[in-house]
Amino acid sequence: MHQVAAVAGATHIVFAGLFFELGAAFLGWVNVGSVLMFALSYLCLRRRWNMAAVGLILSEILLHAILAVRAIGWDSGFHYYLILVAPIVYVSRTGALPKAALVGTVFLCHLLLDHAMKATAPLYLLEPHTLTGLRYFNVAVSFLLLSYLSGHYYGLIKDSERKLRELATTDPLTRLLNRRSWLELAEYELVKRRRQPEPLALVLADIDHFKDINDTHGHLAGDAVLQAVSEVLRQSVRQQDSVARWGGEEFMVLMPQATPETARLVAERLREKIGQLRVPLDSGESLAVSMTFGVSSHQAEEAIEAPMRRADAALYKGKAAGRDQVVLAAA
């Protein structure tokens, strides 16, 4: 709506100059008034007085169309701007019933103008070629404004869809995949593997002594550690791998086309990079972090839960053996 007010105000500045040039001073001043109304609606929007702003915008469009058509005739094409009311109303924050009522009211005004003004002589008689040029200009501007509003609205929808998809598929703290999305990818990889057998590995990782970090430094420090570790994992896995926050301080990596040895080497690289990590705290301190990794591979026609259990067993074996290490599960 901010952009509607700004674009419409700029358009009426052009109209004001055009009418003063044509000698129709009355319409020139009408457009000056329109610019002021759009400026006022913009200020209302800045203060979040949305209903007042929408009312100003719709009133201006309706009054301007009526005055312009009465002044220079139906053939001037100013009634085309009434069509712009529909998208403006439907992107505003009003209920469904008021929107339908407003659009219906403007539609009736258009019908009444059509009935009354076609047979009424205009107040200002323009040269035929000037009137034709003005009508074409109004058609072009209406089309461009409608296209602009439609394109902008489409962009808002796509952006909303992207945000909703991101919320549905990622963990809000770490921006990694969530558990459900990871499982969907894993099932897809199993389907591919049935058609064309290729190695598939899993890596389950856990931050060492994470509870102590929360208890000693607080949950904000724990969140900072999770975010820092997530960024290292995201940047350090292979391009075809998928990393998810599995729950709490655990992370799961899906590694298509990776043998157990390849997955072990990647996990070892991740362990080393995490070991180099220093997470700054608000107190000025920095935390060193380590992780333990369990690696397994998918076998034959088994469900994805089987290698997940083996990776989990390997992980806890590594924790029992002193943490900060990579353990490869037996097949």
Mark whether 198 and 121 lie in a shared domain.
Answer: no
Place of tokens 């190695």: 199
Question: Which domain does 85 fall in, by range?
Answer: 2-168
Q: What is the pLDDT of residues 290-323, one digit of tens each?
A: 999 999 999 988 999 999 999 999 999 999 999 9
Instruction: Count other Cβ atoms within 10 Å, centred on residue 274.
Output: 22
What is the edge-to-edge ordering of all strands in the sheet holding 200-207?
242-247, 250-256, 200-207, 291-297, 326-328
Residue 11 lies in a domain: yes
Kindly give, in sequence order, each residue whose CB lies less than 8 Å from that of residue 256, ignoring residues fewer than 6 positions away: 189, 192, 198, 200, 240, 241
Span 188-243, pLDDT tens digits: 999 998 888 899 999 999 999 999 999 999 999 999 999 999 999 999 999 999 99
Residue 42 and residue 186 in one domain: no
Whichever domain contains 212, its CATH number is 3.30.70.270
Angle between helices 50-72 and 25-46 (to 10 degrees): 170
Model confidence pLDDT, tens digit, residues 10-31: 888 887 887 788 777 877 888 8
For the chain, where are the alpha helices, taking DSSP H only?
Answer: 2-22, 25-46, 50-72, 85-91, 96-117, 128-169, 179-195, 210-217, 219-236, 260-275, 305-320
Q: What is the pLDDT of residue 299?
A: 92
pLDDT at 96: 61
174 found inside a domain? no
For residue 118, pLDDT over 80 is answered with: no
What tokens does 51 get?
């209903």
155 and 10 share one domain: yes
Assess whether 249 carries a catalytic annotation: yes
**What is the band of 54 on the pLDDT scale with cuts at 50, 70, 90?**
confident
Mean pLDDT of 106-134: 82
286 shares its domain with 220 = yes
Residues 160 and 218 in one domain: no
In order of 26, 117, 129, 191, 214, the CA distances from 29 in angstroms are 5, 22, 23, 70, 67
More confident residue, 4 or 314: 314
Total domains in the chain come to 2
3-state SS assignment for residue 234: helix
Q: Are residues 83 and 221 in the same domain?
A: no
Ranking 2-6, 176-180, 202-206 by mean pLDDT, the lowest is 2-6
183 and 162 fall within a common domain: no
- Please check whether residues 159 and 205 belong to one and the same domain: no
State whether 214 and 285 are in the same domain: yes
Please state, as a whole number, how many other Cβ atoms lie within 10 Å of the Cβ of residue 30: 20
Q: Are residue 11 and residue 151 in the same domain, yes or no?
A: yes
At which of 134, 168, 202 does a domain end? 168
For residues 66 and 127, membership in a common domain is answered with yes
Q: Look at residue 223 and tell me if it is in a domain.
A: yes
For residue 173, tell me if it sits in a domain.
Answer: no
What is the residue-averaged pLDDT of the chain? 88
0.75 exceeded by the pTM?
no
From the candidates 21, 249, 272, 301, which is the catalytic residue? 249
pLDDT digits (tens, 9 = 90+) for 86-102: 887 777 666 666 788 88
Q: Do 115 and 64 meet the contact criterion of CB atoms below 8 Å apart?
A: no
Single-letter amino acid, residue 109 = C
Please give the share of the chain, as a percent, with pLDDT higher than 70. Answer: 98
